Amino acid sequence: MFRLDHKTTVVTGGGSGIGKAISIIFAEQGSDVQVLDVNEKGGQEVISEIIRGGGKAVFRNCDVSDQAAVKKAVEDIIAKKGSIELLVNNAGIAHIGNAENTGEPEFDRLLQVNVKGIYNCLHAVIPYMKQKGGAIVNMASVASTVGIPDRFAYSMTKGAVVGMTLSVAKDYIQHNIRCNCISPGRVHTPFVDGFISKNYPGREQEMFEKLSKTQPIGRMAKPEEIAYLALYLCSEEAAFITGCDYPIDGGFIKLNN
């Protein structure tokens, strides 16, 4: 079950965190993984790990906010592989701030990466995916559903991700393209460790435990746990699922009172 043999997957932001886990697990399940990321070092390390494990993968240095760069990357993939069956729009950036202290440059950057980045990939991939059908997974967040303090611009972009997901699911259902999104709660990634060490020096363990306990289940998610949900949604076992947003949050949305 959940095999992805003979399918080419594009994973954006595949050089670290959730994207890294998705890239590795999809490759283990037989997919030819195309990792798009601006993180050259991380991306190459992921590719090396996949190839050492007997999988197929290629790294492409690509800024998803640059439409021309995305178009070129997709055209190169099509020229070499002939098709793209799976697209995981995982690349994104975070931001802390409310409506007052979020500056215009930060607001615009969030839009460029988290919203336009997904649009650019959809715009480039869907014309080819229409030929054979396929599956798309977009990375949203619990911040698109519930109010989280000091996440004004970030929450805005993740709400847009859900809207784009529903629109694509509706527009391309007759082309045998499914589109869903995932809304993780807090996930233990290098970003989280970096955030804690930068903002709470000397209190790293205390803050890690505090942030972990904001999930009712009592811990952060592992990147692999998010990747397994993405794998299911991209697999043939999920062939009847489209236009849905899946929280994976340790009870954060429903159980926090």
CATH of the domain at 88: 3.40.50.720
Domain presence at residue 125: yes
Domain presence at residue 112: yes
Domain presence at residue 176: yes
Question: Which residue in this structure is represented by tokens 């215009």?
Answer: 104
Q: Does 246 have pLDDT greater than 80?
A: yes
Q: Looking at the structure, do residues 201 and 180 belong to the same domain, yes or no?
A: no
Determine whether 154 is an active site residue: yes
Q: Please write the tens of the pLDDT for every residue from 45-69.
A: 999 999 999 999 999 999 999 999 9
Q: Looking at the structure, do residues 32 and 49 belong to the same domain, yes or no?
A: yes
Q: Please write the tens of the pLDDT for every residue from 200-221.
A: 899 999 999 999 998 999 999 9
Q: Looking at the structure, do residues 48 and 156 belong to the same domain, yes or no?
A: yes
Q: Looking at the structure, do residues 197 and 146 belong to the same domain, yes or no?
A: no
Q: What's residue 257's pLDDT?
A: 64
Q: Looking at the structure, do residues 25 and 152 belong to the same domain, yes or no?
A: yes
Q: Looking at the structure, do residues 216 and 229 belong to the same domain, yes or no?
A: no
Q: Looking at the structure, do residues 137 and 201 belong to the same domain, yes or no?
A: no
- 179: β partners: 136
Which of 128, 154, 172, 246 is flagged as catalytic?
154
Q: What's residue 201's pLDDT?
A: 92
Domain presence at residue 193: yes
190 falls in which pLDDT band (50, 70, 90)? confident
Q: Looking at the structure, do residues 213 and 129 belong to the same domain, yes or no?
A: no
**Per the structure, how many domains does the chain have?**
2
Domain presence at residue 256: no
Q: Determine the average pLDDT of the residues in 95-120.
A: 97
Q: Looking at the structure, do residues 231 and 159 belong to the same domain, yes or no?
A: yes
Q: Looking at the structure, do residues 131 and 231 belong to the same domain, yes or no?
A: yes
Q: Looking at the structure, do residues 122 and 14 belong to the same domain, yes or no?
A: yes
pTM for the predicted model, two decimal places: 0.96
Q: What's residue 198's pLDDT?
A: 87
Q: Looking at the structure, do residues 231 and 181 belong to the same domain, yes or no?
A: yes
Q: What percentage of residues in the chain have a pLDDT greater than 70?
A: 100
The values of phi and psi at residue 10, to 5°, are -100, 125
Q: What's residue 195's pLDDT?
A: 82
**Domain, as residue range, for 195:** 189-220
HEC readout, the chain: CCCCCCCEEEEECCCCHHHHHHHHHHHHCCCEEEEEECCHHHHHHHHHHHHHCCCEEEEEECCCCCHHHHHHHHHHHHHHHCCCCEEEECCCCCCCECCCCCCHHHHHHHHHHHHHHHHHHHHHHHHHHCCCCEEEEEECCHHHCCCCCCEHHHHHHHHHHHHHHHHHHHHCHHHCEEEEEEEECCECCHHHHHHHHHHCCCCHHHHHHHHHCCCCCCCCECHHHHHHHHHHHHCHHHCCCCCCEEEECCCHHHHCC
Q: What percentage of residues in the chain have a pLDDT greater than 90?
A: 94
